[in-house]
Amino acid sequence: MFWCIDYLNVHTCGKDSYNIHLSFNYIKKMKAIILNNSGSVDNFNYVHVSKPSIKENEVLVKVTSVSVNPVDYKARENEGTLNWLFGEQRPVILGWDLSGIIQEVGKNVSDFKIDDAVFGMANFPGNGSAYAEYVAVPSSHLTLKPANISHQEAAAATLAVLTAWQALVTNGNIKKDNKVLIHGASGGVGHYAIQIAKHFGAYVIGTSSEKIKNLCCKMVPTNILITQK
């Protein structure tokens, strides 16, 4: 008989094995990437921290994927942005855009259940904490992940697409046959903006550098693409 020890369980293993699950304090720990001070990526530390507990309106998500937007690196390298998002709290856990599986459901949450696959933007702008194994998220910040979309794709379809949506639909009130100019059309926000504008029947003009014009010519085509070196 062999004893196997990992950080959650101690159990026997082998052909005729059985598991003994012990409720160590370890079970309340999780892995996370913390940031003590703004600066280079060397300031990130991969450590064990306490697993978050949820409020009545929150769910606990086991994080499968996160995406990194400009706000992530701006917060990481700039003390002013970090203060705007987290106040004086240090260390912090960055990360807002996520996709994962629900592990626990708060008392007042009726729209999700355990094991639902969900994605969304956690507590933005504020304490997101998605660079971690588990994150507590208000249920209103999440939605069900379509089965035909991977966790990676879902995590990448949150802040950038909402930014494009707010610009074109919420603020721009886009209509069929509008002419829309999208600068940085090949970028994270831009390539969503092209698709949203096309969806509403607009005529789309994009700008892009020569080197990545294929994205706007083939994968997400504009009506007219202006390229620069």
Ligand X SMILES: NC(=O)c1ccc[n+]([C@@H]2O[C@H](COP(=O)([O-])OP(=O)(O)OC[C@H]3O[C@@H](n4cnc5c(N)ncnc54)[C@H](OP(=O)(O)O)[C@@H]3O)[C@@H](O)[C@H]2O)c1
User: Residues interacting with ligand X, by CB under 6 A?
Assistant: 69-70, 159-160, 163, 183-184, 186-190, 208-209, 212
Q: Which two tokens stand for residue 122?
A: 């956690």
Nearer to ligand X, 223 or 227 (CB): 227
In whole angstroms, the minimum distance from the beta carbon of 224 to ligand X comes to: 15
Nearer to ligand X, 31 or 74 (CB): 74
Residue with tokens 């930014």: 163
Closest residue to ligand X in the complex (CB):
187
Give 41's Cβ-side CA count (13 Å radius). 3
Task: Judge contact between 93 and 34, C-beta under 8 A.
Answer: yes
User: For residue 9, what are the CA distances in angstroms to 20, 26, 27, 157?
Assistant: 7, 9, 8, 35
In whole angstroms, the minimum distance from the beta carbon of 155 to ligand X comes to: 12
Nearer to ligand X, 43 or 227 (CB): 227
In whole angstroms, the minimum distance from the beta carbon of 190 to ligand X comes to: 5
Per DSSP, helices labelled H in the chain are 70-77, 79-86, 151-155, 159-165, 188-199, 213-214
In whole angstroms, the minimum distance from the beta carbon of 229 to ligand X comes to: 10
Nearer to ligand X, 109 or 155 (CB): 155
